[in-house]
Structure 1
């Protein structure tokens, strides 16, 4: 099997270290405080969905509601951080997280390095934008001015909801114990299939994916789960082209966990699934099937031995310059005949040049690392990282106690590895913001192969920085 296996190694380490079962207690003071909050973010009127340009008009139904969930943590020294997980296609910093983190800092004193906003990447979620000219954009060619204004109103309301959500989670802090373990899933299947004409988007079960299911259990002083955070590295596209609101498979997985553990708040964190899809897919029923399978695996992990997470909480974050290829007009034109979205991207790059603009040389994005004592390190990557980043970071930092997440704080498009850049294909298209909103500026381009080294080096440096006070 070429899937990335960690569960066996983690299980052996737990037995060797003598990790205790969930709910057990040494009788001492709980080393953490934790608080949760949830808010429904389903639009109150039909809006245009993001994820597929072939869908026309606002959504026609609500299959299941969208939500945003927050988990606030405080260690024994009073250090705090908040994780927010939302049923959205993406968080873009200039649209949502920049404004929201500023407001949260003003109200709570928490810096943005202590806030992680993770999008599940459901393709049956609404467009989030403050651009009144979305109707002029090729990504939403049929959007009317009224729909663009409704999208802006939804986005402003979403900002308010997220600020309130974080404040409510912090107000809910109470003594808690943390533990974690990793399971495995068969939900993700690689969608990068080599063909003579190039890599195409089609199921490729032989190619590697990240099959890890990291699970964090947050227990009350009574030993019952008050929160469960879990991850999966796979696009939330099981529902297919439905023109209906749905949280896709992550929502159904959460429902299984919450039904098994009443009173617990389940949070889903998208992982390195930029090049993975659930198979089969194409209907709400298939989204439910994948989600319930994932939820059962999470529950299995929760019922087994988990490693205690003691603290302290240390965080480090940086704005990292991700290098873009510098191509001539003729080099860009050479992409126009490729059988994938690189041709689509090349056309947008030529549009920038035709408009008299310069193509960017880099895209600056946030990378964040949280260390929860010596037991757990969460590496929060931006964009849509491909599965190879899970392998690369485990090699760089060691596989033990490492949780790698994507789709955090800012999503600009795909974050390819050097291998994906060389091979081409859909996941090699890089920064795509010009295609979605002209107001964001001429942000479009293919990443250089060395973007891989830049990201890995940044995570390694931040992990070391966050470790300096952990003795």
Structure 2
């Protein structure tokens, strides 16, 4: 089937003075003093026999549920949910947003007027970006695929998994030159550390390197299974520039000559799945949970967002508004080829153990691009090996702490959840694997 590509991008850099994203602040929000590099929203539309398949990547910490729902509601008559993929680059030096991380718990923000207004502007900007790419010039292309590699990502959770695969999907014009380059890597974009200027971290550097190498082409970063993967330290501006340059060079080299051919038709699916939290809602247990969260508010030696989290949880328990599960988007695109190439993206901070499992089942990195931070981001998505009873000693990615292992801790505090994910055969891992297996089969 004939393939074509249209591309668009728009700058989304906020003004200085706005609160910045990141994971927890002590007394108040970290505010930007300037711009180290612009933040962008990029869109690539892969036209398959006239039908659009749109990928949007935004230089923000995470696509929140409000942004995901708002963009999809506005575009419902223009591009189906199955054919629209919304990604966040997960930079930690982007803007704080109204949802995703809890603004009060994470940043001690009691007045959200500024970030609420930016959230509305960003939603409208992304909607217009999608409309622009749908209306843009369509360049006839061929698609080809290679897997490059990088070796600097490390597993910060102490597991054996280490991301090395760098999938590269290249759209070439009739002259053979790249028109669009879609690439992925599973590593947290925190190489710069927490700075006081807007900055897209290593993915922003890599995209600029690729676009400089192929003038007129657009580079779009697909976040891989980065939940438990970190770059090497020490984190600094120079480290982010170095790692971004290395990744950009690897992708540029991979895109220099065609890989294996990929074609239409596309077969896409999108669903939202329910994943259970480890919470027992009997009155006696909820009274005990409430007592623990009261104690957390004055417990010594904890980060201050633990106290704010405890305050919010007590209020939710008293009001009966706490949630016992999370909703996560699960999206799969199947592209024809020999073998088929599948792109599987989920709405959370996917840890690398899932990538190992699914690559083993579906052709390795040659047959599967997999990642997270897509279509809403509600929390980390830990595997059983990061949850009790398999894991001991607490786990940031697992969302629990040894002071009170039966309630939320670590990453689940800044995400504003009441409990960590449920382990075992009826837990988060089983539900996520079942859902994705159904879509990938």
TM band (smaller chain)? 0.7 to 0.9
CA contact 2:265–2:336 (8 Å) conserved in 1:
yes
Q: 1:159 aligns with which of 95, 99, 123?
A: 123
- Mapped to 2, the partners of 1:339 and 1:276 lie a distance apart of 26
Change (3 A) 1:186 1:385: same
| Number of the residue aligned with 2:59 | 87
| Number of the residue aligned with 1:61 | 34
| Number of the residue aligned with 2:405 | none
Residue correspondence of structure 1 range 322-401 to structure 2 within 5 A: 322-327=275-280, 328-329=285-286, 330=288, 333=292, 344=306, 347=310, 350-352=313-315, 354-357=317-320, 359-374=322-337, 375-399=340-364, 400-401=366-367
Residue correspondence of structure 1 range 65-80 to structure 2 within 5 A: 65-76=38-49, 78-80=50-52
Change (3 A) 1:378 1:130: closer
- Mapped to 1, the partners of 2:222 and 2:246 lie a distance apart of 16
Q: 1:447 aligns with which of 396, 410, 421?
A: 421
- Mapped to 1, the partners of 2:99 and 2:213 lie a distance apart of 39
CA contact 1:349–1:444 (8 Å) conserved in 2:
no
| Number of the residue aligned with 2:368 | 402
Q: What root-mean-square deviation, in Å, do the aligned CA atoms of Structure 1 and Structure 2 show?
A: 2.9
Q: CA deviation at 1:340?
A: 8.7
Change (3 A) 1:463 1:155: same
- Mapped to 2, the partners of 1:379 and 1:212 lie a distance apart of 15
- Mapped to 2, the partners of 1:72 and 1:417 lie a distance apart of 33
Q: 2:434 aligns with which of 446, 450, 457?
A: 457
Structure 1 range deviating more: 324-333 or 274-283: 324-333
| Number of the residue aligned with 2:70 | 99
Cα deviation per residue 1:73-129 (whole Å; 9 max; x = unaligned)?
1212x3321000111000012x211011111123x2x11121111101100000121
Could you say what secondary structure the match of 1:365 adopts? strand
CA contact 2:313–2:418 (8 Å) conserved in 1:
no
Could you say what secondary structure the match of 2:75 adopts? helix
Could you say what secondary structure the match of 1:288 adopts? helix
- Mapped to 1, the partners of 2:336 and 2:234 lie a distance apart of 39
- Mapped to 2, the partners of 1:339 and 1:73 lie a distance apart of 51
Q: 1:306 aligns with which of 241, 259, 275?
A: 259
Structure 1 range deviating more: 281-290 or 380-389: 281-290
Unaligned runs of 5+ in 2: 401-407
| Number of the residue aligned with 1:39 | 10
Q: 2:96 aligns with which of 116, 121, 127?
A: 127
Report how many aligned residue pairs link the two structures. 408
Q: Normalising to structure 2: TM-score of the pair?
A: 0.85
Change (3 A) 1:321 1:138: closer
Could you say what secondary structure the match of 2:76 adopts? helix
Could you say what secondary structure the match of 1:102 adopts? helix
CA contact 1:254–1:267 (8 Å) conserved in 2:
yes
| Number of the residue aligned with 1:196 | none
- Mapped to 1, the partners of 2:336 and 2:217 lie a distance apart of 24
Unaligned runs of 5+ in 1: 1-29, 194-205, 465-471
Could you say what secondary structure the match of 2:397 adopts? helix
Structure 1 range deviating more: 443-452 or 453-462: 443-452
